[in-house]
């Protein structure tokens, strides 16, 4: 059987525990080219996961407020208490798209490109990630991304999937540094927006190239690098080797983003302390704990204020509300797409009907996928996941979730801020539908 790298397989092997240095925390901000990222946290690009719905969902789940004590970007009131939201202490600083085939993007009709590169105003700053191996095609696709209004463009040199590597994309390119250099120079010359790269340490332990690659990126005019501290051969197994992130940071002056094995705010702070990286990137933790960025911001703010980092833990009610919010956003996004088709006066052909049916199947699939991630670690979650996988449609998935949470005894109510965030996001989603 062929090995496939899916999010469900990306488990941690005996997760490391970190001793917290006294002043360890994630930076309030950093800058990539002319784009300020605040706070210094990044949602990793994940195939089949980081579509526009998930990105906006994460952005919303990341927000938190503190008692008003200074100048802020916006104000809010929670339970009648004036509070502020600062973009330097809350939210996910940068979000990234699913990786996109440069070859496919360059061949698409413009109308299809617009659908594929969909994002909304509240997603800025946003980076589009491309994969491929042809310098000219990657450069053309980077121009398409720039013209579409993205703030940054990123090159994927990290994906370990066989189907990507077989095309010399993703981590497959790590075996050909001269070609990577040509790609760097060609894409850099094609666009003016910040250009970054996400890569692994190397193909395997006998072929570690991350420091050399980072230096090359800097010399070719790239604006930042992100290192997933594993090799392609590692896949998602074993411990991420943060010492290589530190080595890259020591080798270049451009910003370095660390990625690998961040499960908690403490992990994020420990990575910054041990490696000196400018920002942290979080992938597989985000679907199972959409509040991770919010928790990192809370941990940072409370540690600065009191010396002890603390953060909220979601209650069962928070989980229930968040699942329902995400599912409603999926349904609303389908409505948006179908209205756009109607506005273009597209005929409902047989192929069009098939496409619509496929969207609804995909929606149910994402419901199942998300509910599965979101119930890991919840007592009794295994039984719920079994019910979800056996569900035939969206109503059945929702029914299983309703029954599960209705029968759970949870003395802790939902956090007021999280309730307010859910309501704000649903209101915004409804507005997109109008």
Q: Which residues contact 129 (CB under 8 A, 6 or more apart)?
A: 45, 96, 97, 98, 99, 100, 153, 154, 155, 156, 198
d(CA 186, CA 137): 10
Q: How far from chain centre, in Å, is Cα 259?
A: 12
Between helices 265-275 and 292-306, what is the axis angle to 10°?
A: 70
d(CA 152, CA 32): 9
CB-CB contact of 43 with 286 (8 Å): yes
Q: Which residues contact 378 (CB under 8 A, 6 or more apart)?
A: 316, 319, 384
Q: Which residues contact 352 (CB under 8 A, 6 or more apart)?
A: 341, 346
CB-CB contact of 153 with 122 (8 Å): no
Out of 92, 159, 210, 277, the active site residue is 159
d(CA 128, CA 100): 8
d(CA 332, CA 20): 42
Q: Calculate the CA dihedral of residues 151, 38, 55, 172 and round it to 10 degrees.
A: 70
81 forms beta bridges with: 78
CB-CB contact of 57 with 109 (8 Å): no
d(CA 257, CA 227): 6
Q: Which residues contact 332 (CB under 8 A, 6 or more apart)?
A: 429, 430, 432, 433
DSSP string, 26-64: --S-EEETTEEESSSEEEPP-TTT-SHHHHHHHHHHT--
Token pair for 298: 């809370």
Is 159 noted as a catalytic residue in this protein? yes
Q: How far from chain centre, in Å, is Cα 173?
A: 23
Give catalytic residue positions.
Answer: 159
């Amino acid at each position: 059987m062929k090995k496939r790298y899916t999010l469900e397989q990306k488990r941690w092997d005996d997760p490391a525990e970190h001793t917290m240095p006294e002043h360890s925390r994630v930076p309030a901000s950093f800058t990539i080219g002319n784009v300020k990222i605040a706070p210094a946290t990044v949602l990793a690009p994940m195939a089949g996961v980081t579509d526009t719905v998930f990105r906006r969902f994460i952005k919303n789940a990341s927000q938190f407020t503190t008692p008003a004590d200074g100048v802020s970007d916006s104000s809010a009131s929670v339970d009648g208490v004036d509070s502020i939201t600062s973009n330097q202490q809350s939210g996910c600083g940068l979000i990234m798209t699913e990786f996109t085939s440069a070859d496919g993007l360059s061949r698409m009709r413009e109308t299809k490109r617009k659908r594929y590169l969909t994002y909304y105003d509240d997603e800025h700053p946003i980076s589009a990630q491309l994969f491929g191996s042809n310098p000219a095609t990657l450069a053309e696709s980077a121009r398409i991304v720039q013209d579409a209004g993205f703030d940054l463009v990123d090159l994927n040199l990290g994906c370990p999937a066989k189907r990507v590597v077989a095309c010399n994309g993703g981590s497959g390119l790590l075996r050909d540094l001269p070609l990577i250099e040509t790609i760097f120079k060609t894409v850099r010359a094609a666009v003016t927006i910040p250009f970054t790269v996400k890569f692994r340490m190397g193909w395997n332990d006998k072929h570690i190239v991350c420091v050399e690659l980072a230096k090359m990126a800097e010399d070719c005019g790239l604006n930042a690098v992100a290192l997933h501290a594993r090799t392609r051969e590692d896949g998602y197994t074993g411990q991420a080797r943060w010492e290589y992130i530190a080595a890259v940071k020591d080798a270049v002056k451009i910003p370095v983003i660390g990625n690998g094995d961040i499960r908690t705010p403490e992990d994020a702070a420990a990575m910054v302390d041990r490696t000196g990286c400018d920002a942290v990137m979080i992938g597989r933790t985000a679907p199972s704990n959409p509040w991770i960025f919010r928790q990192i911001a809370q941990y940072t703010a409370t540690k600065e204020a009191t010396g002890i980092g603390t953060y909220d833990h979601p209650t069962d009610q928070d989980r229930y509300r968040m699942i329902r919010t995400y599912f409603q956003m999926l349904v609303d996004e389908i409505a948006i797409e179908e209205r756009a088709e109607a506005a273009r006066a597209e005929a409902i052909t047989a192929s069009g009907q098939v496409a619509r049916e496929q969207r609804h199947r995909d929606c149910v699939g994402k419901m199942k996928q998300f509910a599965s991630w979101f119930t890991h670690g919840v007592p009794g979650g295994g039984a719920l996941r079994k019910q979800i996988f056996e569900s035939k449609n969206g109503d059945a998935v929702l029914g299983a979730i309703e029954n599960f949470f209705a029968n759970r005894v949870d003395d802790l109510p939902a956090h007021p801020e999280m309730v307010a965030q859910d309501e704000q996001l649903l209101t915004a989603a409804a507005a997109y539908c109008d």
